Amino acid sequence: MDGVYSYAGRTEAPLPQPLPTRVGGFGGISGLVRYLRAEAVSHVVDATHPFAAQMSANAVAACAETGIPLLALERLPWAPTDGDQWQHVPDIASAVVALPDAPMRIFLAIGRQNVEEFSARPEHQYLVRLVDAGANLMLPEAEVVISRGPFTLEGDLALLTAHRIQMVVSKNSGGSGAAAKLEAARALKLPVLIIDRPVVPERTRVQTVAEVLAWLAHPANLGV
């Protein structure tokens, strides 16, 4: 079975994939519909980031219009355990508002896209970890660490300790590659602002690549 891997284009040097790769958006629902029809796509696997809600919603709508089966590969969200000091907020704007009044050293573990919204709280000092260098973050007090996961508990303990971090802000992305910051926060007894996932239209979901491959071979097994 042939396939195409689609990147949004937000990372300068994405990891290579064992499939032909395209980069960039589709132009909304109508553009995605045109692409699916032009390329005679038979199945769509939505393996986007859990916070790429617009792309996921577009995929649901485009597949409904074209009649193409859709499956979402979605990792489970993180859940707190004993020792965690989590405060849940529904979105980025709420996280900005929920920051404490007193100046603190804050690890913004949210990627590049939403960092500028924290410029509304210039009283804090921020540590931002990014995949690519050169981003203008528009934050008056910020340090940038360039690193690509997966991350380790040992490494994130060292990072938070070296930068004297007092609070962690994180999207609830789930998975194992970036969970170390939460484990490090637990070990250091740091509070964490957890940004809950956005709402996405209902679709069939699985949690492993093996389930995706089984669906591609026998999609009727999942009722799709």
Per-residue pLDDT tens for 163-183?
A: 999 999 999 999 888 899 999
Which is more confidently placed, 114 or 18? Answer: 114
Q: C-alpha distances in angstroms, 76 versus 95, 175, 206, 208, 211?
A: 21, 7, 9, 10, 14
Residue 7 has pLDDT above 80, yes or no: no
Percentage of the chain exceeding pLDDT 70: 92
Q: Return d(Cα 17, Cα 110) in angstroms, integer.
A: 24
Return all residues near 133 (Cβ < 8 A) that are at least 6 apart.
144, 146
Q: Phi and psi at residue 43, in whole multiples of 5°?
A: -145, 145
Burial class from Cβ neighbours inside 10 Å (0-12, 13-18, 19+) for residue 139 reads: buried
Which is more confidently placed, 201 or 224? Answer: 201
Q: Return d(Cα 132, Cα 166) in angstroms, integer.
A: 25
The pTM of this model reads 0.83
Contact between 58 and 28 under an 8 Å Cβ cutoff? The reply is: yes
3-class secondary-structure state, position 38 = helix
Q: Characterize the bridge pairing of strands 167-171 and 191-195.
A: parallel
Residue 18: pLDDT band with limits 50, 70, 90: confident
